[in-house]
Structure 1
Amino acid sequence: MKKIYYLKTCDTCRRILKEMDTTNYVLQEIKTEPITVNQLDGLYALTKSYEVLFSKMAKKYKQMDLKSQTLAEKDFRQLILDEYTFLKRPVIINNKEVLVGNTKKRVDIFK
C-alpha cells in the first residue's frame, strides 16, 4: 500500500507533495477525511508507537498544556483520534516503510 496522510493547509506538506511523484499514492487530507481508528492502529503496527505519530508542535498541544502532563500511549492515540492537528504530518507509507514528519533526509528516500 502506498498512502500519504497530509493537511492541505500545511506549507510543508504542500512542498513535500510537490517534490514527490505521488502518482501511485492514495492521498488522504486529514481535515476533510479524518484518520480512522483502523488506519491509526495500522500506522501503530508500522511504527510501534503512537507518540512517534503525535505532533508536539500542534498549537493545541500548548493550549491544552499537555507538556506538563504525563501522557501514555493510549493518551497519544486518543488525542490523535480526537483532533486531526495532533497527527504528525505528512505520514508517507510505501508498502512496509513509513515516514512520519517532514525531515528532508527522510523524505528523500520516497522520491
Structure 2
Amino acid sequence: MKKIYYLKTCDTCRRVLKEMDTSDFILQEIKMEPITVKQLDELFSLTKSYEVLFSRMAKKYKQMGLKSQQLTENDYRQFILDEYTFLKRPVIIIGSEVYVGNTKKRVT
C-alpha cells in the first residue's frame, strides 16, 4: 500500500507533496477525513510507537500544558484520535515502510 496522511494547510506537507510523484498514492487529508482507530493502530504496528506519530509542534500541545505532563503511549494515541493536529505529518506509507514528519529519516 502507498498512502499519505497530510494536512492541506501545512506548509511542510505541501512542500513534500510537491517534491514527489503522488500519482500511485492514496492521499488522506486528515482534517476533512480524520484518521480512524484502525488506521492509527496500523501506523502503530509499523512504528511500534504512538509517541513517534505525535506532534509536539501542534499549538494545542502548548495550550493544553502537555509539555509538563508525563504522557503514556495510550495518552498519545487518544490525543491523536481526538485532535488531528496532534498527528505528526506528513505520514508516508510505502509497503511496510513508514516515514513520519518532514525529515528524511526512515522510522521503520
Give the TM bin, normalised by the shorter chain. over 0.9
Aligned partner of 1:10 in structure 2 is 10
**Helix, strand or coil at the partner of 1:56:** coil
Same amino acid, percent of matched pairs: 78
Structure 1 stretches (4+) deviating beyond 2 angstroms?
Answer: none
After TM superposition, the score normalised by the length of structure 1 is: 0.94
Query: Per-residue CA shift, 1:8-55, capped at 9, x if unaligned?
Result: 000110010000000100000000000000000000000000000000
Q: How many residues align?
A: 106
1:106 is aligned to 2:105: yes
Higher helix share: 1
**C-alpha offsets along residues 50-87 of structure 1, whole Å, 9 cap, x if unaligned?**
00000000000000000000000000000000000000
Unaligned runs of at least 5 residues, structure 2: none
Aligned mates of 2:78, 2:11 — CA distance in 1: 26
For structure 1, the 5+ residue unaligned runs are: none
> Partners in 1 of 2:80 and 2:70 — Cα distance?
16
State the Cα RMSD in Å.
Answer: 0.9
